[in-house]
Amino acid sequence: MVIGGKSYTADLIIIGDEIFPNWWRREGHSLCLEDLGPVLAARPEVLVIGTGAYGAMDVPYETERFLEERGIEVIWKPTAEAVEIFNRLTGRKKAAAAFHLTC
């Protein structure tokens, strides 16, 4: 993934203009709430989750429900599709993204 001319090959979180590179999840291919500390602190309107090239990362119901109960819309798709959605939302909504760049 290229952002502002810089290439990223490891998972990352984007919140506004801030990039959190080398994002690591507690359970690898399952998204847990503790994996989303910066997102929860930023309180975006929407979180776009890229689940990997082949959609290997799971978003458990409990994680999605917790975010939605706090007013955060959750969109999760394979990463290429998630990037397109995030790019369309940027500037229109307070959006954050969490991208799994492999698998």
pLDDT in tens, 63-100: 999 999 999 999 999 999 999 999 999 999 999 999 99
Instruction: Indicate whether 102 pLDDT > 90.
Output: no
pLDDT in tens, 56-68: 999 999 999 999 9
Q: Give one DSSP letter per residue of 40-63, joined into a string.
A: HHH--SEEEEEE-TT--SB--HHH
Query: What is d(CA 23, CA 36) in angstroms, rounded to the nearest whole number?
Result: 9
The three-class DSSP label of residue 74 is: strand
So what's the pLDDT on residue 28? 83
Average pLDDT rounded to a whole number, residues 29-57: 96
Nearest Cα residue to 98 out of 24, 26, 41 = 24
Query: What is d(CA 92, CA 90) in angstroms, rounded to the nearest whole number?
Result: 5
CATH number assigned to the domain covering 2-100: 3.40.1230.10
Task: Please state the domain extents for the chain.
Answer: 2-100
